[in-house]
Structure 1
Amino acid sequence: MFPEVGSEVIVFCEPASARVVAVNSRYITIEWPWRGIDDSSNFRWDGTFSLPHGESDPEWVPYLLEPAASELRAGDVCTVSIPPTRLHVGHYEEYDPPRHLGWAPAPTAGIYVLPPERADYADDEDAGCMLYLGSADPVRLNPVDD
Structure 2
Amino acid sequence: MIGEPPGGFRPGDVLRISCPFTDAVVSAVHLYDVAIRWPWWQIDPESDFIQWNGDVALPLGSSLDDDRGFFTTIPDADALAAGDRCRVGIRPAIVHVMSVDHFDPPLETGRLPRSRRNLVLLRHGESEDPDAEYQGYCIDPDDDQPITAELLFRPYAFLCLDDELADSAGRAWRFIAPWNWTPFDGGTGTPAWPLTLLHREGAEPADDSIGAVTAATSTGSHADELAHWEHLTGASPPARSRVSSASR
TM-score between both structures, scaled by the size of structure 2? 0.53
Q: Which residue of 2 aligns with 1:16?
A: 22
Q: How far does the alpha carbon of each residue in 1:72-93 deviate from its partner, in whole angstroms, 9 at most, with x for none? A: 0111011111122111212211
8 Å CA contact 2:44–2:110 kept in 1: the answer is: yes
Amino acid paired to 1:46: N
Q: Supply the distance in 2 between the matched residues of 1:95 and 1:72 (Cα, whole angstroms).
A: 36
* Larger Rg computed on CA atoms: 2
Q: Which deviates more from structure 2 when the two are superposed, residues 94-103 or residues 12-21? A: 94-103
8 Å CA contact 2:74–2:88 kept in 1: the answer is: yes
Q: Unaligned regions of 5+ residues in structure 1, if any?
A: none
In the TM superposition, what are the counterparts of 1:96-111 in structure 2 within 5 Å? Answer: 96-111=104-119
Indicate the SS of the match to 1:133. coil
Higher helix fraction: Structure 1 or Structure 2? 2
Q: Which deviates more from structure 2 when the two are superposed, residues 78-87 or residues 96-105? A: 96-105
8 Å CA contact 2:98–2:128 kept in 1: the answer is: no
Amino acid paired to 2:56: F
Indicate the SS of the match to 2:106. coil
TM-score between both structures, scaled by the size of structure 1? 0.86
Q: Which residue of 2 aligns with 1:46?
A: 53
1:119, distance to aligned residue in structure 2 (A): 2.0
Q: Which residue of 2 aligns with 1:78?
A: 86
Q: Unaligned regions of 5+ residues in structure 2, if any?
A: 154-227, 229-248
Identity %: 27
1:114 aligns with 2:122: yes
Q: Supply the distance in 1 between the matched residues of 2:65 and 2:42 (Cα, whole angstroms).
A: 29
Q: Which residue of 2 aligns with 1:95?
A: 103
RMSD: 2.1
Q: Supply the distance in 2 between the matched residues of 1:121 and 1:77 (Cα, whole angstroms).
A: 38
Q: How far does the alpha carbon of each residue in 1:42-64 deviate from its partner, in whole angstroms, 9 at most, with x for none? A: 22111110111215524510112
8 Å CA contact 1:90–1:119 kept in 2: the answer is: no
Amino acid paired to 1:31: R
